[in-house]
Structure 1
Amino acid sequence: MPNDSTFTCFVRRDQSFDFNWHFHREYELTLITAGTGVRYVGTTVELYRPGDLVLLGPDLPHTYASERSENLAEAAVTQFQYDFLGPGFFELPQFRSVQSLLERSARGLSFSDVPEELRADVASLPGFASAVQTVRLLDVLHRLATDVAPTPVTGAGYTAAPSTVVRDRVDVVCRYLQQTHTGPVHLDEIAGLAHMSPTSFSRFFRQAIGCTLTDYVNQLRVETACKLLTTTALPVTEVAARSGYRNLANFNRRFRELKSMRPTEYRAAYLQPVPPPEA
């Protein structure tokens, strides 16, 4: 964060967002403005698309990851500390709704059904001088607190502010799983990446992430399936196989556990137009 400011607003733009599991003391408001990928927050793995708007509290482990493509990955990011407007500011009666919003962001908050005007205001924050940014950020937080019903992103089982050693081990493991989860996943192999025995690693992973390795891999696989269901016309059996499930019944069961609907229902609800093949 710049030394001459109590908060920072910037545009993150690249060919892709690389996996980098991390945490920091600042609150973070992120609006995806271009590109698609996977958002990892605490115990939760979810797809993101343009318009995805999330507020993360301090020390909440997270990362965004996308595949390299012709289209840029882009996000408007604002980071600030609780007292960026001065000690006790949000304890003032007129700002208690914002204080409540910030408290709830400890689990991460996802905002859907956000008015386009509000979304545009979030996207425009990096373009203003610091004084104007301050006023506009306060206005954005107030409107998010009063006009939009957020949804918690993660469960209560994640570990906030893990040590640097834990962070680095989890980053190595999760980065590897991000690339390999559609194939067989063997506990002893994954434990070896962290230089731990399988038993010690299982305990470590659950404490650091808040869920078991099996549960985490299932989240990765189901999100891969969601992407295939909504961007291709592949049969469900093929989607299951490409997502890492060799047994269709197991795929259907895991999918319903995480999405509360069958794969065919998900496809019908979220299917994106598939472009026609080139002539």
Structure 2
Amino acid sequence: MQPDLELVAVPRDESYKVWSHGYPYRTVRWHFHPEFEIQLITATTGKYFVGDYIGDFTPGNLVMVGSNLPHNWVSNVPTGERVDERCLVVQFDTEFLTRAIDVFPELKRVETLLDASSWGVLFSTKTGAAAEPIMREMLVAQGIRRITLFLSLIDLLVRSAAPIKLASAAYRADPAHYAESRINHVLSYIGRNLSKELRESELAELAGQSASAFSRYFRRHTGVPFVQYVNRLRINLACQLLMAGELSITDICYQVGFNNLSNFNRQFLALKGTSPSRWRADQQLNMTSASVSSDDDAADATHAQEAFG
């Protein structure tokens, strides 16, 4: 079965993406993405699939998968039931760590971990338990603290005793072959043209299907209807632009592909539970608070230095 492409939106002003999700969830399917991923299961048991590997997972299951390596975790949850949080996820692109290694020679050992992740790497439950508080703080951390937490997590993985490679030595991810599939061609097109008008009928034509067949096909592969999928990507992009603080809300509305402000506000409220202006104000308050805390820490350090001068 061909894996589906997942479009990972790492915020423009951040080095990596960290988030959590429950079960069922739209990304719970056989899929791949260019970004590296570290995933920690916090609830449920089930089967997981990494490359050509199949295994059983329980809470504490901590796995790192490399670029374009297909993967999926399927939980044993009765039909109709939901789990609020199934896992914690960290995603980052290759260039982020490659540039860091170039600047900091001490990170050279990370290259071994990145190479091993090409087949998927399973860490011990002890490492999983140590990783959980780090990843939970990463969900809310701001500024430099995000980087120190990320490095702490990577250091934990590098020093972990006897991690296990998952896929067989003969397995090789083949993203060029995956990209030939109909759904991945469509998803890639959406990602490249998010700011433009996207009509389901035109995407159906691109996929060589009737509108009704494409609608069913798209939902089966992504877990959500076409319009909902596109709106979610656009709102995520809008959040990045809101945090940058350079554009007005009206400008952002049109830049991410909405054709009127009222629909943008309505979709934003539905997905984020608040208005774009309120969301931006809350983020600015959060950033200001982090800045004040840093200033206080710096002042405390100065006073301590003077006291022990």
Question: What range is the shorter-chain TM-score in?
Answer: 0.5 to 0.7
Shift of 1:80: 0.6
Equivalent of 2:121 in 109, 121, 131: 109
Per-residue CA deviation, residues 184-218 of structure 1 (Å, 9 max, x unaligned), is xxxxxxxxxxxxxxxxxxxxxxxxxxxxxxxxxxx
The equivalent of 1:68 in structure 2 is: 77
Which 10-residue stretch deviates more, 83-92 or 73-82?
83-92
Partner of 2:43: 34
Q: Which runs of 5+ in 2 are unaligned?
A: 1-8, 185-309
Corresponding residue for residue 139 of structure 1: 152
Determine the structure 2 residue equivalent to 1:51.
Answer: 60
Q: Given the superposition, is the C-alpha separation of residues 91 and 100 from structure 1 closer, same or farther in structure 2, using an over 3 Å criterion? A: farther
Greater share of helix residues, 1 or 2? 2
Q: Which moves more between the two structures, 14-23 or 43-52?
A: 14-23
Q: How many residues align?
A: 169
Does residue 120 of structure 1 match 2:133? yes
Q: Distance in 1 between matches of 2:111 and 2:71?
A: 22
Q: Helix, strand or coil: the match of 1:148?
A: coil
In structure 2, what is the Cα distance between the partners aligned to 1:102 and 1:158? 16
Q: Which one of 87, 108, 114 corresponds to residue 96 of structure 1?
A: 108
1:131, 1:47 → 2: CA distance? 36
Is 1:83 paired with 2:95?
Answer: yes
**Superposition pairs of residues 231-250 of structure 1, within 5 angstroms:** none
DSSP-derived class of the 2:133 partner: helix
Alignment pair present for 1:7 and 2:16: yes
- Give the superposition deviation at 1:146: 1.6
Q: TM-score, normalised by structure 2?
A: 0.49
TM-score by length of 1: 0.54
Identity percentage over the alignment? 28
Report the Cα distance in structure 1 between the residues aligned to 2:115 and 2:182, rounded to whole angstroms. 24
Deviation of the 1:54 alpha carbon: 0.2
**1:245 paired residue number:** none
Q: Could you tell me how far 1:84 is from its partner in structure 2?
A: 1.6
State the 1:91 CA deviation.
7.2
Contact 1:91 1:99 in 2 (8 A): no
Alignment-mate amino acid for residue 148 of structure 1: A
Deviation at 1:86, TM superposition (A): 6.3
Q: CA deviation at 1:130?
A: 4.8
Aligned match of 1:253: none
Q: Secondary structure at the match of 2:31?
A: coil
| 2:163 corresponds to 1:154 | no
3-state SS of 1:114 partner: helix
Unaligned stretches of 5+ residues in structure 1: 170-279
SS of match in other structure, 2:96 = coil
Deviations 1:209-244 (A, max 9, x none): xxxxxxxxxxxxxxxxxxxxxxxxxxxxxxxxxxxx
Write out per-residue CA displacement over residues 55-82 of structure 1, whole angstroms, 9 at most, x where no aligned residue.
0110101112224344615100000112
